[in-house]
Structure 1
Amino acid sequence: MMVIFIRADGGNFIGLGHVMRMLVLAKELSSSHKVFFLCRDSSSDKEKYRSGIEKIIENNFIVITISEENVIGDILNLQEQYRAKLLITDSYEVNEEYFNILASHFKYTGYVDDTNKIKMNVSFIINQNFNAEYMDYSRNINFGTKLFLGTKYCMIREEFRNLRLENKMCKEKVTDVLLTLGGMDKDQNTLKILRKIKDTYSEYIHVVIGMAFDYDLERELIEISKINSNIKLYKNPIMSELMKKCDIAISACGSTLYELCSMRIPTIGVVVADNQEIIAKQMSENGIIIGGKWINTYENSEIRELLNYLIIKGDVRKGMISKQMNLVNINGVTLLKEEIEKMCI
């Protein structure tokens, strides 16, 4: 049994994407190993990382907080105490120094990457994204660094892996639309989109309220749902069950896209973070999603028009579903665990 450190943060300004995908990997690894999460905490703003820490604790993992001013030093102090064999990092708040210093204090280190922008002195790289296999990592990694690239290594949550959708058909009549923009929405994009699509041809619009939505946004969403009986709100839902009932989704272009593909739901992509831009563009060009633009570049009625287009065009939805079917390996995290164990044990 290994002791494993997973370093990931989530919160009101950085979202919950890093935490959510690391929870998938942590659950798989914890069946055979001891896993601890290392999460930054802020001395000046206790709300900054609260939602991420709470999400991890909610999933029954131990969280050890580290200072955002002394990340490397705190990890080294914890390593003296716990003697972890493996450190896996999923954070954009890293640099070459971070990797170089920590590599000499752990037998193995891994990094969950999306962008391939800096030199990464690690034992392995995980990049689950659609475009990962087209990235040239050779200049940013060591000669012996293992690469786990592409959607064959998708970290899909267990609730999606347990579903059986072999016989799912594309309905002729669209009745249910999903709107989900992730755990955080500081620019109130959920409300902006909802106001534009509330009068579309669908019968119901199912809106996800993320863990890190602020009080004012949540209150506004509640008010609009009171006026429009077709709008249904969900806080901390079982996403697989909610997706199962929906015919079309409007979604941020993070890891949720892979869950939607596994559920075979035609999707209008909305980019809300820098790391989503390239993935959204390539998935859109390949007909896996439509749209895939930055939220602020959509014309006033464009998202509503795209939604109505998908509602009317059953053949387009069928084509998107056929492309989704073979994109994602729903057991990618199991494969990932096997590869990590093969390397580290």
Structure 2
Amino acid sequence: MGYDDLKVLVRADASVDIGMGHRVRCQALIHAFKALGWQCQFVVQRRYDAFASPEDEFIETESEFWQLAEQVDLVILDHYGYSADDIATLYEHQENLLVLDDMNDRGDFPAKWLLNPLHQTYSKSIKFPLTGSQYALLRPVFLQQNNLAVTPEKLLITLGGTDPLALTLPILKALLTSGFPAKYIQILLGASAKKADRVLSFCEENNIYVEQGLSDVTPLMKQAKMAISAAGGTLFELACLGVPTVFAQVADNQTCSLEQHVPLGWCRSVRFDNVSEEARRHRIEQLIEELNGRWLDLEWQKKARKTAQGLVDGAGAERVAKAIDAYFS
């Protein structure tokens, strides 16, 4: 069991460009640490205050962050703006450092703990690597899900907290043009989704179910027979609930997770972040073709559901917090 005076600083910025995923998964970790008696504090760069909480600690410079890091027991860093050299500098100020990573593309850097929900190999500069989907950081609500009581029949479309490429509306239009029935579609928009007002108007005109900024997404996910989704942290949430998915890759940092998960057979993917806006139209057609080709394939869906649920159990944040807490105990 943890001690009441142990303190952790969590560094994870969020914006339209960065997305919300870093902050969301760190919130899952904070919940797990608080359950063990830790005091937790987000540290946010001032220019990202629009996506922060009033309780956060705001900084103007990195040296302010380093000073704060020296005064606590643990620092959690989930930040792609940090190079290997930057991480090494932070480590000089606080050796009890947990780095969250997805791509393993920053080269060698030191940290006491490294968390990656994919199977990746790191150097000996990492003392305790925590890798694999058993460490995927999901919100506590995913732990409380039981097997489905009803047969799901909906298509869930969710393009992340910010929908950075504004894909929801063009995908929706292409889906209806392909003849997909509107009554089976549910749209989930992030609170800060791009062009959300246009999506909301279109859904109202076409009698399509839409929600924005839900704090608990599990009821919608449990009704989903399949999903079209961005491939950030939502990938692990959909896997946990066994939802076969066609992923729209909207950022480079989603490459590794898709390279590991698509071959397992429970999902497909189409990439959007590395092509022009013109080429995206063609890729949307590809994505709709993939979806329509799988929608009636119940045998594939059954296998996909079973595979996905076997990968992620929702207890990742708890596992990580307990492993670190045990070190201090």
Fold agreement, TM-score > 0.5: yes
Q: Offset of 1:168 from its aligned partner?
A: 5.4
Q: Offset of 1:116 from its aligned partner?
A: 1.5
Q: Offset of 1:202 from its aligned partner?
A: 6.0
1:109 aligns with 2:97: yes
Alignment correspondent of 1:274: 252
SS of corresponding position for 2:93:
coil
SS of corresponding position for 1:12:
coil
The one-letter code matched in structure 2 to 1:236 is: G
Alignment correspondent of 1:206: 186
Q: Offset of 1:104 from its aligned partner?
A: 2.7
> CA offsets, 1:258-300, max 9 Å, x none?
1111111111111000010122133112212023433656535
SS of corresponding position for 1:250:
strand
When normalised by structure 1's length, the TM-score is 0.85
The 8 Å contact of residues 110 and 126 in structure 1, kept in 2 or not, is answered as yes
Match of 2:204 among 212, 221, 226: 226
SS of corresponding position for 1:203:
helix
Q: Residues 7 and 245 from structure 1, CA distance in 2 versus in 1: closer, same or farther, beyond 3 angstroms?
A: same
Cα distance between partner residues in 1 of 2:283 and 2:87: 42
The one-letter code matched in structure 2 to 1:235 is: Q
Task: Identify the range of structure 1 (218-227 vs 148-157) with the bigger mean alpha-carbon deviation.
Answer: 218-227
Alignment correspondent of 1:95: 83
Residue correspondences, number: 314
If asked which structure has higher relative contact order (CA below 8 Å, sep 6+), I would say 2
1:64 aligns with 2:64: no
Q: Residues 340 and 292 from structure 1, CA distance in 2 versus in 1: closer, same or farther, beyond 3 angstroms?
A: farther
Task: Identify the range of structure 1 (105-114 vs 250-259) with the bigger mean alpha-carbon deviation.
Answer: 105-114
Alignment correspondent of 2:68: 78
Cα distance between partner residues in 1 of 2:196 and 2:298: 33
The 8 Å contact of residues 270 and 283 in structure 2, kept in 1 or not, is answered as no
SS of corresponding position for 1:6:
strand
When normalised by structure 2's length, the TM-score is 0.89
Alignment of 1:182-193 (within 5 A): 182-193=160-171
Point out where structure 1 has 5 or more consecutive residues left out of the alignment.
Answer: 43-47
Q: Offset of 1:107 from its aligned partner?
A: 4.4
1:307 aligns with 2:291: yes
1:126 aligns with 2:119: no
Alignment correspondent of 1:318: 302
Alignment correspondent of 1:6: 10
The 8 Å contact of residues 280 and 292 in structure 1, kept in 2 or not, is answered as no
The 8 Å contact of residues 153 and 223 in structure 2, kept in 1 or not, is answered as no
SS of corresponding position for 1:184:
coil
Point out where structure 2 has 5 or more consecutive residues left out of the alignment.
Answer: none
What is the RMSD of the two structures over their aligned residues, measured on CA atoms?
Answer: 2.0
